[in-house]
Chain A
Amino acid sequence: MQPAPSVSEPRRRPPVAAALAFAVLLPLIFASPAPAKHDPPGQSAAVKHGHAGGTGATGTTPAASAPYGEEAQAQSGQTGEASSPATPAPASSGEAGGQPATSPEKGKTKSSAAPGHAKAKHSPKREAAKTPRKTPEAPVASVAEPAPAPVTTATPTQTVHAPVVAAPTTTAAIATKHAPARAHSGTGTSARSHRTVRRPARRVASASTASGTSGAVLAAATSGARAPARSSTAHGAGPSAVARQLASERRPSAATSGLPLVHSVTRIINVVPPLIRALIGLLIGLALLLAISSRITAARARRLLRQREELLDDVGLLQGALLPPLPARIGPIGTSAAYQPASGPGAGGDFYDVFALGDGRIAVILGDVSGHGRDALPQTTLLRFTLRAYIEAGLSPRTALATAGPVLERQLGSSFATVAVATYDPRERQLVFSCAGHPPPLVLGSDAAAPITSASAPPIGVGAPTGTRQTTVSIPGSALVCFYTDGVVEARTSGALFGSRRLQRVLASISETATAETLLTRIDAEIDARPDDMAACLLRIEGGELPPAVTVEELALDMREIERDRATRFLRSAGVHPAEIEQVVAELRRQVARHGRVVLELHLGEGAPEIVLSPQNVATLQPTIRAAAGAQGALT
């Protein structure tokens, strides 16, 4: 009964133990080269016990920490015996099963394991009942029964090790597995060790069974027990080494049986065909490979993450060039701006800027460069800073656009740009804006009529003079001014264009403290598709006591534009009487013929619009600045 397990186990358990060992080893291997530390104790313990009891199960407890000692002992007493009667405790139980009278010493030494004894008596029976069925070698193995004799002699060793014995079963398994592995291969590669462990184990089993001198073999093992495990295995000293191996092989099994779960797992694995076990071994190897590769991948991912952060910083800098962060207030004006890139292919190209001018006014520039994407980046920055420079130099929005137009057109290449430029003077409470192919800002809260959109100025870069239109509106009360790019109004909501009327509704519904970010978020919630970038900029102007003043609409004209009836349409939109339009156009022709370019001013207030014609030359920068200075004088 006893020998049966001792012979058959080596065959069955090594793979099992190996599997468990690897399962536990994997994390250990990756955590640190820890296994090395466990090796020596595992070996020595295993070997000694192997000699002592024939079942190294107890000896396994390589790392077996002292605290676990007693408890472990008790456990090993129970389970160790169950699997292999030769263990210290098992040894006694083995006696209980087969040779009860063998050694009273054991009884003494295992006084602590006494409870284990009681149980041991039952467990061996159970095990014995099972194992013979599984292993046909059982009868042959019974030859090994003589073994007890040497075993008993070895008992002192057992007792010495008894406390150390029953380490937590798993670690025990690892240790034993590992110990032989090192002994044989010395490489410590778990996959290899697995194999090397198993093969010798089988050889041992067959050797012992075939020769029928297993008793002698065991005896040899026991005698060799004193020798350090490493040296003996290193020499490969015939039967003794083999026996030691066998012992160390068996130990894990006993150890694994220390826990009920492991025990049952072991039993389940025992009935698994060798092929499947080999497969499991393969899988473990694979898992090992994967673990290594995942570690490498993780390192690479960390590096990429670092690079990404650096890139995002760079992108943030670039984006800051186009979409600078704004203070919540500039002087008495609440300011905010927001940008949302297109969901489709047309990303990039929108830009804005809001800044204070030296004289207390604030300026807004918001636009959109065609030829979207990263390609538009250089043009977009150029546009923003060129316009800003002209505005800061003191030009009015219209003059800034008229002056920058030809300069920028040369730089834009095949692109063109639409842009709105505005200044707001808090003392005069006047908003002045000029657009180039761009929708005019929406002004909520002002009584001013909607700006005239016929005869609007063309974009920058389409081969026509721009900066031809400018609107000045008084803002007596509190007002919300919204600049936006066409991406906002060209967004689609249930198949329809979002449109400026919807934008106006959303603007009217957002709270007093809402920012441009809130606005775009609200719009984004209402639309299905965002084919273009959306940018918006809000100026929140608080109420004042000034009475509403007139609105001034300006249109700069040359002969070509007069020929195209732009003056006529412009005047018609303002509600000027047709007869008067005729007179004005005739006068315009005379003045344009004389001065080149003439500005038609419409002062809209109560009653009939007042019409003023004044020559203006923007052909060169110098006169433009003088003209601009005059315009500023009128405003401030």
Chain B
Amino acid sequence: MKERSGTGATFAISRRDLEPGTTVVAVAGELDLASAPNLKWTLNDSIAKGARRLVLDMSPVTFIDSTALGVLVGVQRNLRVGGRLALAGADRDPDVLNIFELTGLDSTFDMFSTIDEALAWVRGSEAAAG
């Protein structure tokens, strides 16, 4: 477990729609109890607006707690039929990667080092599905 300062004071989220059905959501800072609701709303709103290929860019993320992990689990579940969620850059911060490993969620999420790899995979999934 990580011991890091900050109580969610640093958190930023942005959404970028690429072609229809493909959305990249970028988050920065700490994903914790405070920022989890925002993350959840943004991701679920993207899905509600038709996004089936979601990439979450986590490269600037410095911490993720169990609540935020729960949000990601829920989003992945929502996309299970006909959609895909890819996590990009979650291995950038060793502490973040450690949390994914400790919780065993590295085995359930599709994690990529870069956004391009992640995008290639989610687009490929569409091809595979189609």
Contacts and interface: CB of A to CB of B under 8 A. Distances in A.
Interface string A475-499: 0000000000010011010011111
B104 interface: yes
A437 interface: yes
A175 interface: no
Nearest to B97: A454
Given A463-B108, A564-B107, A453 B101 contact: yes
Given A370-B70, A437-B105, A490-B66, A499 B3 contact: yes
Given A492-B7, A501-B3, A532-B66, A456 B33 contact: no
How many of chain A's residues touch chain B, expressed as a range?
Answer: 35 or more
B66 A496 contact: no
B77 interface: yes
A50 B98 CA distance: 99
A379 to B, nearest CB: 13
A453 B102 contact: yes
Interface residues of B, number: 28
A459 interface: yes
Given A463-B80, A495-B6, A497-B4, A453 B107 contact: no
B102 A439 contact: yes
Interface in A485-544: 486, 489-490, 492, 495-502, 529, 531-532
For chain A, what secondary structure do more than half of its interface residues adopt (helix, strand, loop), or is it mixed? loop
Interface in A432-464: 435-439, 453-459, 462-464
A469 B32 CA distance: 27
Given A490-B66, A492-B7, A497 B2 contact: yes
Contacts of A453: 98, 101-102
Contact of B108 (A438, A462, A469, A531): A462
B85 to A, nearest CB: 12
A344 interface: yes
A414 B105 contact: no
B128 interface: no
Contacts of A437: 103-105
Contact of B77 (A463, A486, A492, A502): A463
A212 interface: no
Given A453-B98, A490-B32, 18 more contacts: A346-B33, A414-B77, A454-B101, A458-B104, A459-B103, A462-B76, A495-B6, A496-B3, A497-B3, A497-B4, A497-B63, A498-B3, A499-B3, A502-B3, A532-B33, A532-B67, A564-B106, A564-B107
Interface of B: 1-7, 32-33, 63, 65-67, 70, 73-74, 76-77, 80, 98, 101-108
